[in-house]
Chain A
Amino acid sequence: MADTTTVTAPRPSQTAVAAHTVDARKVYGRAETEVRALDGITVDFETGRFTAIMGPSGSGKSTLLHCVAGLDQLSSGHAFIGTDDVSALNDRELTVLRRDRIGFIFQSYNLVPTLTALENVVLPLRLAGRRVDQGWLDTVIGTLGLADRLAHRPSELSGGQQQRVAVARALATRPQIVFADEPTGNLDSHASTEVLQFMRRAVDDMGQTIVMVTHDPRAAGFADRAVFLADGTIVDELLMPTTDSVLERMKRFGE
């Protein structure tokens, strides 16, 4: 597991790597119509940190997340969850990987509409046939402030509440890593702040690892580290980003 990151920014020496890619490439189409969504990306996502992947539309940030999470296949190169090469797993192994070791938060439609909030939270555990760790569940639910909404169905929850339930579900299995794809994309700023604060606490209080794709500088401001993508390659990164520093950095893309 060679560490061949081309980005040489300093990082805390004690951290392990929860997921990483090696020369990840994703190509759509052929010959003249060829689009290189990922053009040789090598990156580490450290355990216990909140990483934001930033970039303009079409930069390949969502594709990178999907490939690391085992939702999409790389054209070449490797993506690892822990020490497991995602690109070498079959559908069943990928499913089990997603179920047991990964948490997901999508932009919208995160919840099964026929199940209550609590049922949605424990759904991955039940799919795995695992026992619910009540203590952990109470911690997660308590942290996210969901205790009084558990018996409600998604249609009875606000957008912010629905995303908080999605965060709770992503945390319920104590996954190795949580992937969030524009988790605040559909929320107003108040609800966004709420959800991002919860994700922040999940990292700080529970030691969770989160990788979040976003184009919102304010969202990136909650992260420990922001990685900037453009045209399928990593062009820069910021440690301890703030809304302003991210905005500043993004302005330079436009130049």
Chain B
Amino acid sequence: MLRTALKNVLAHKLRLLTTALAVTLGVALMAGTLVLTDTMKRTFDNLFATVYGGTDAVVRAKASFEGPQGAGVQRGRIDIGLIPTVRAAPGVAAAEGQIFGYARITGSDGSALGNPANGAPTLGTVWVTDSRLNPLNLVAGAPPRGPHQVVIDKKSAQDGNLAVGDTTTILVLGPPQRMRITGIAKFGSADSPGGASIAAFTAPTAQRLLAQPGKVDTIDVVGKPGVSQQQLVRDISPVLPSGVEAVTGATVIAENQTQVQKGLAFFNTFLLIFAVVALLVGGFMMFNTFAITVTQRTRENGLLRALGASRRQVLTSVLLEALAVGMIASLLGVVVGVGVAIGLKALMSGIGIEIPAQGVTVLPGSMLFAFAVGLVVTVLAAVSPARKAAKVAPIAAMQLGVAGSTGYGSKQRVFVGIGVLGGGVAALLLGLFTGVPSPLQIVGLGALLVFFGVSILGRTISLPLSRVIGLPLLRLRGVTGELARENAMRNPKRTAASASALMIGVGVVGLIAIFVSSIRASITQSIDKTFTGDIVVDSGGGVLGGVDPALARDLNKLPEVQLAAGIRQGVAKVGSSAVVVEAGNPTTLLRLIQPQITDGSAAGLNTHSIAVYSATASDHNWHIGSVLPVEFAKSGPTRLRVAAIYNDNTQIGDYFVSLSAYRANFAAQFDHEVFVKIAPGTSSAAAVSAIKSVTAAYPSVKVLTRSGYVDAQMKPLNQLLALIYVLLGLAIIIALLGIGNTLALSISERIREIGLLRAIGMTRAQLRSAIRWESVIIALQGTVLGLVIGVFFGWALVTAMHDQGIRVFSVPILTLAVVMVAAIAAGMIAAAGPSRRAAKLDVLRAVAAE
């Protein structure tokens, strides 16, 4: 039986190739994702091992609270007065203050280096004089000695065309600083710490620019020889004041690694979803191909049975064939996966997500996992066709060519399909709209079940669907259109199975297109409703960065500007959850941003009050006058009274406080964005050029018009979108290969019919056209089903995210129309090979074919 199975594999090399390709792609995406994940993990592990390699213990303020969405632990700073105390503790060989903060280097052409908004951070730090505690190794020049001297990392020096002795601008949370580069350093052995840029200052300069004078983030400690890290911590702890703790270097490394892994978790999930989509598509194609070949081999299997093969042997033979295909495809997939990882790395670096690693990390465990998944999917897909093959009666060998089942699906099947679909929809809605634990998994399962449910119902809905889709063809293409439609309808089971693979890819495309379109529409609508100004000045510094409040003051002095007001951001703990708090001057900022206050008044906001977004307030049952327990990293616990409730959180977030409250509770004072209203009678162009003359001193700042502001907010999303479309494009191409494959197989079943048609006068062109349109009907069927599912998923997701600020459900008709047209074109392309071969058939031989 093994020999029969292998011979079958070898006898159909081309079919094998196209089918295996689908599984290969799925495995490759999965392996690529795993390789990329392993690579990133190893890179960061090495990074932290370098940073803290010489550090035996770290003294720091106790954590106030964990920041929202992986923003890290929020801590206060500690006094430099503690450094001599730590040094005096037994077991301590050396102790130095350390700071990490926002600093961005500008290149020799005056442009800011790096992309902290959606890439690696741009860091400022202390040049630690004790080499055991300093992760930086000078490769040129000397350490910084004065307030206007800096050492920069080698990558920034190369990117910015900077050399020792050059003077350049360093952007910090405050006025830009002109500094002379005294040295260029490597980070451990790397040119830069994981793609981030580094500017190292003297300790007093770092305190002044990155923290506060007299304050540091941590004190890094080296122990005396023979003192273990645990012993060192026990030695230091007694001398520390309350609110300050000592931990081992190993603990800090582990904490950092966990933090990064949390940050990457979203990214991994995202890529794995595509791997699952690709494998699903591959599985459907496998199933389809095996189902067709088993039907075509009915007589052969009957013969085997007549010659004495048992059912089990026939079943095993088909499964062995699947195993062989799965092995080859998965093995290939694992190899291609390494290439995919390299490609993904390059692709992401192209859109600004830098993965700082040389080469990729290939771990045997990950490879084995991807291989096994591919194998299991292939064999599972062949189980049902194999069982069907085993059911063939020996008498089938004697019967004339049995044309496979053309069933529309039994009643039982319809019930099962509706059950699975209903279960999927229920799980999806449950995950999205109720507070169940691990909603992501439940939503994923729901989506999977919806796809499966529709696939099970596929053969039942395929017939009416082909009939409707093919309707315009009758008019447009006459008899060839009619033949195309009839052929798409003649085996609904097969048509549905070919369409299913495409349906999945298109469904995900539809979902994402709708999601992004809805976000854009929501942002646009909200800006239209709430932003009364004309121009937004963005700090360009990402979440860490910001611009000196002096910029807003300077803009207000311009005659072209009627009003300019900045908005600030920070993290605080409200009740039991860490949240982002926004801040601004209630009288000026809230004239430019009108968040539709429904209750209370923002004018009365002061140091002891807060404004809250309406949905957040109703979730917690807060009203005007409610007193909220709030904790800030700098100032500790306090209580704020709810003074206003507002209806739009797009610009000012869920929590908003006055500038006075912000100053009292946050260390850094900088504007995230500055909103500007142009003076009456001033043209937009004149205002922009006046504003740009002021912002020229801040190289990272961007001046945006209203529409530019929407675009800027959409930019990270659009970049992500590009990546998504590339990945889905691959899945869809594979699905099209599947349609081509099915078409070729079903044409080989209808050779006599084709011969007849040609004999009675169908031209080659007419034949090609009929097959092309048949393919288009199948492709459109998958597309239509996919879009319907995509619109449903999109609607569910957008509705579920209403309180996150996505209030508009927008279906991007144009994009979806493009998808439809692309499906038509793709259907034609898929049919090119099969239709050409069919048209070339010798008429006489086709008529006489068995």
Contacts and interface: CB of A to CB of B under 8 A. Distances in A.
B is a partner of A? yes
A29 interface: no
Contacts of B478: 126, 129
Interface in B754-774: 756-764, 766
Contacts of B482: 115, 119
A127 B761 contact: yes
A104 interface: yes
A199 to B, nearest CB: 17
A165 to B, nearest CB: 12
B756 A96 contact: no
Given A71-B847, A106-B847, A114-B489, A95 B761 contact: yes
B763 A96 contact: yes
B757 A95 contact: no
B487 A123 contact: no
A95 B753 contact: no
Interface string A84-120: 0000000110011011100010100111111100010
Contacts of A115: 482-483, 486
Given A66-B844, A109-B753, A123 B760 contact: yes
Interface residues of A, number: 27
B486 A114 contact: yes
Contacts of B138: none
Nearest to B761: A99
Contacts of A185: none
A124 interface: yes
Contacts of B761: 95-96, 98-100, 124, 127-128
B42 interface: no
A205 B78 CA distance: 114
Contacts of A106: 756, 759, 847
A98 B764 contact: no
B752 interface: yes
A127 B486 contact: no
B580 interface: no
Contacts of B766: 127
Interface in B424-479: 478-479
Interface in B472-517: 478-479, 482-483, 486-487, 489-490
B843 interface: yes
Contacts of B764: 91-92, 95
A72 interface: yes
Q: How large is the interface on B (under 10, 10 to 19, 20 to 34, 35 or more residues)?
A: 20 to 34
A127 B756 contact: no
Interface in B112-145: none
Q: Which interface residue of B759, B760, B843 has the most chain A CB atoms within 10 A? A: B760
Given A98-B759, A114-B483, A71 B490 contact: no
A4 B756 CA distance: 34
A20 interface: no
A95 B756 contact: no
Contact of B762 (A72, A114, A127): A127
Contact of B759 (A92, A104, A111, A126): A104
A92 B766 CA distance: 11
Interface in A65-85: 66, 71-72
A239 B482 CA distance: 45
B844 A72 contact: yes
B835 to A, nearest CB: 16
Contacts, number: 66
Contacts of B760: 98-99, 104, 123-124, 127, 169
A114 B763 contact: no
A112 B752 CA distance: 10
B843 A112 contact: no
A170 B760 CA distance: 8
A113 B489 CA distance: 12
Contacts of B763: 92, 95-96, 99, 127
A100 B763 CA distance: 12
Contacts of A124: 760-761
A111 B760 CA distance: 10
A111 B752 CA distance: 10
B324 to A, nearest CB: 35
A72 to B, nearest CB: 5
A100 B752 CA distance: 21
Contacts of A128: 761
Contact of B487 (A66, A98, A99, A114): A114
A97 B600 CA distance: 89
Nearest to A92: B763
Contacts of A96: 761, 763
Interface string A158-195: 00000000000100000000000000000000000000
Residue from A95, A96, A104, A119 whose CB has the most chain B CB atoms within 10 Å? A95
A71 B844 contact: yes
A189 B182 CA distance: 109
Given A71-B844, A71-B847, A72-B844, A126 B756 contact: no
Contacts of B487: 114
A189 to B, nearest CB: 22
B483 A71 contact: no
A112 B479 contact: no
B760 to A, nearest CB: 5
B844 A112 contact: no
B474 to A, nearest CB: 11
Nearest to B490: A114
Nearest to B752: A109
A64 to B, nearest CB: 13
A95 B759 CA distance: 7
Nearest to A101: B761
A91 B758 CA distance: 10
A154 to B, nearest CB: 11
B756 A112 contact: yes
A209 B487 CA distance: 34
A252 to B, nearest CB: 30
Contact of A126 (B479, B753, B758, B843): B479
A185 to B, nearest CB: 13
Nearest to A71: B844
B479 A71 contact: no
Nearest to B766: A127
A128 B759 CA distance: 13
Residue among B479, B483, B490 with most chain A CB within 10 A: B479
Given A71-B759, A106-B759, A124-B760, 19 more contacts: A92-B764, A95-B758, A98-B760, A98-B761, A99-B763, A100-B761, A104-B759, A106-B756, A109-B752, A109-B756, A109-B847, A110-B756, A113-B490, A114-B486, A114-B487, A115-B482, A115-B486, A128-B761, A169-B760
Q: Pick the 8 closest A-B CB pairs, nearest first.
A: A99-B761, A114-B486, A126-B479, A71-B844, A95-B763, A124-B761, A98-B761, A109-B752
26 contacts: A66-B844, A72-B844, A92-B763, A95-B758, A95-B763, A95-B764, A98-B759, A99-B762, A100-B761, A106-B756, A109-B753, A112-B483, A112-B757, A113-B490, A113-B753, A114-B486, A123-B479, A123-B760, A124-B761, A126-B479, A127-B479, A127-B760, A127-B763, A127-B766, A129-B478, A169-B760
Interface of B: 478-479, 482-483, 486-487, 489-490, 752-753, 756-764, 766, 843-844, 847
Interface of A: 66, 71-72, 91-92, 95-96, 98-100, 104, 106, 109-115, 119, 123-124, 126-129, 169
